[in-house]
Structures are given as C-alpha cells and as structure tokens.
Amino acid sequence: MVKDWRPGASLDTLRRAASLRQGLRGYFDTTGALEVITPVLSRSGAPEPAIEAFDTRATERDGHLWLQTSPEFAMKRLVAAHGRDVWQLASVFRRAERGRRHNVEFQLLEWYRIGHDLEALIGDVCALLKHAVGDAAPFDRTPVIRRYGVCVREVLGDWPEHVTVPGVRARFEGAGRHFPAGIGDDELDAALHLLFDTFVVPRFDTDRPTFVVDYPPSQASLARCTVDRDGRTVAARVELYAGEVELANGFHELTDADEQRRRFESELSVRRANGQPLPPLDEAFLAALSCGLPDCAGIALGVDRLLMVAIGATSLDEVMSFADGRC
C-alpha cells in the first residue's frame, strides 16, 4: 500500500519553482540564446566513471539505449552544426544518486556560448543568477572565486600535482577522519575529491556563492587545458557552490576530437578495471568535434538544488513534486 500519495513540495514551493523557470527563460530571451530540445534516449552513454547511466532493456528492434545523464553531447552537436548559442532545461537520470541533495531524476539547465572563455562564462552565470534568484540569499551577494590548487595547498602544503595518496591519507588520519581503504595509492583524483569535499568545501562562505577554477588536468573531463598565473597547467573548468551545495559544472570546451577520444578511452579503461558497465562511445559527438566545434564555453546547473538553496530548503524532497521516495 502507498504510504503517502501527496507531493513533497507545497503549492507555494511549486509556484516558486514555476517562477524560477520563468526567470531562467526570461534571461535567455534577453541574451538571444536559442532554446532547444534533444533526445532523452541515446545509443551511447557517458563514460565518466563517477556517473552511472540507466540503460534500457535491449531488444532486437530497439537495441541498447541509455537515458541521458546530461544533454551535453547532443547540444554541442547543435552548436557545431549551426554555430548558435543554445540552452535547454532537461530531465536527466543518474543511478545511485540518492540523498538529501541527490535524486535519480532531476532538472538540469545547460547552455553554451560561442566565443566565451571561462571568465566570460562566470560572468554569464552571475548575470543569470541575479536575474532569476538575485533577491534570495546567498545569490544577492558578490561571488567569490577560489582556485582549486590553492585550496589544496592550504590543506596539504603543496600543489595537487605534487600530492600523493599516502599524503592525503595521512592528513585524514591526523584529523581523526576516516579514509576509505578502497582508494588505492594510484587513485589520486579520488583521494583529492574526498579531500576537497572534507576539508575545503565546508570552509566556503555561506552568505555568497563560490566559483572554483583551475582544476588539475586529470579532472578536465571535456574542458581544454590552459596555464594559470603560476605557470601550472590546469583544466579550464569551473564549479559553482552555494555554501557546501554544488550547483553547476562548466568548461571552456575542448574542441580537439583526438584528445577527447583519448580521454574517453582512458575513462572506459577505469570503468573496465572497476567492473562497471561499458557504454558505447558517442561517435556522433566525436565526429562533430572533428568537423569543428566553435570556440565556446558551456555549463550545466542543477535547477532543483538552485531552488532548494534559494528558498532555504534542506532537501530536494521539499522542492520536487515527487522525489524518489514518492514516485
């Protein structure tokens, strides 16, 4: 028997959500970006080891299909084909994403700007936040920009590229914190992720947004690499936080198809070693890169989390009509 059929979000919250979506659309209307819709199902899946896609039952007629974890690949194919700024509010799906700030299905706002670098993208995000939720804390305050490497050096005394997993483990032990035995000495990025979430993110300002930039090249994903002010090679990637809540992840997009294929194959090797499913590579996306993706920057922002922070809610269940437990 169904325990509770009622929605998690109140009527007032649903009105706030509708107002937020209206504000987001209004912002893109003023900038001339084109709203697009791309398929939710694909014959390929994201190879990133930290993200698990839902796959559908394979049939002889339909083949093996995957629910999108992001509309990124299809949207960049549109940018490559038409050379236009595009945006989309999409439902996306990720396995094992459950908790106060996680849901297996959620709303992702994703957009791409031709000719933008990371600095211009951050300015664009700030303008959107001001337009859509600028009267709500912490979005009514000027954001802070933090550099990933500097944050790690403040905790460990060295740049990320000079850090070792035993060194990260020792930092946890010295603080009386648990370090998972499953993170091996060759899994530096996993150790750095845990270090960042444990010792850096809790220090972020709670009364203003924080943009994190200059990630290690090994965490570039779909971003190009560049040189920072200290002469270090870093990924042109940015993440947005409101206090400890991660809201968005963006890139100055990589346009080199060969390098992107190399990264995808490296990620598949990790998945293979971990015994994870091996989704087919998106050859259409790689072909679009080969034909020429314009210089652009793009970002994906979690709309449900944005609303949660803007109204002071503590869980996604309070802002989604029917979160996982109510479906």
Domain co-membership, 132 together with 233: yes
> Is 3 a domain residue?
no
CA-based end-to-end distance of the chain: 13
> Is 6 a domain residue?
no
Give the residue among 147, 143, 67 at the shortest CA–CA distance from 105: 67
Single residue among 207, 224, 253 that ends a domain in this structure: 207
Domain co-membership, 35 together with 182: no
Asked if the bond preceding 279 is cis, omega within 30° of 0, the reply is no
Domain co-membership, 212 together with 95: yes
List, for residues 147-205, the tens digit of each pLDDT value.
Answer: 999 999 999 999 999 999 999 999 999 999 999 999 999 999 999 999 999 999 999 99
Single residue among 165, 190, 207 that ends a domain in this structure: 207
> Is 259 a domain residue?
yes
> Is 321 a domain residue?
yes
Give the residue among 188, 223, 244, 226 at the shortest CA–CA distance from 300: 223
Determine the Cα–Cα distance for residues 41 and 248; give it in Å rounded to an integer.
23
Work out the number of other CB atoms within 10 angstroms of the CB of residue 286. 17
> Is 121 a domain residue?
yes
Helices 257-274 and 283-292 meet at what angle, rounded to 10? Answer: 160
Q: Could you tell me which residues come within 8 angstroms of residue 30 by beta carbon, excluding any fewer than 6 positions away?
A: 131
Q: What is the reported pLDDT for 9?
A: 95
- Domain hosting 162: range is 144-207
Domain count, the chain: 2
Domain co-membership, 198 together with 52: no
Domain co-membership, 89 together with 38: yes
Residues of the chain where predicted confidence (pLDDT) is lower than 70: 1-2, 97, 325, 327
Domain co-membership, 136 together with 165: no
Q: What is the reported pLDDT for 58?
A: 74
Q: What is the reported pLDDT for 327?
A: 66
The answer to whether the pTM exceeds 0.85 is: yes
Question: Is 209 in contact with 242 (CB distance < 8 Å)?
Answer: yes
Q: What is the reported pLDDT for 2?
A: 62
Domain co-membership, 119 together with 184: no
- As a 3-state breakdown, the chain gives helix, strand, coil percent values, each rounded to 5, of 40, 20, 40
Question: Is 147 in contact with 213 (CB distance < 8 Å)?
Answer: yes
Work out the number of other CB atoms within 10 angstroms of the CB of residue 285. 23
Give the CATH number, domain containing residue 223: 3.30.930.10
Tokens representing residue 261 in the block: 């294929």
Domain co-membership, 23 together with 117: yes
List, for residues 226-253, the tens digit of each pLDDT value.
Answer: 999 999 999 999 999 999 999 999 999 9
> Is 5 a domain residue?
no
Q: What is the reported pLDDT for 97?
A: 66
> Is 1 a domain residue?
no
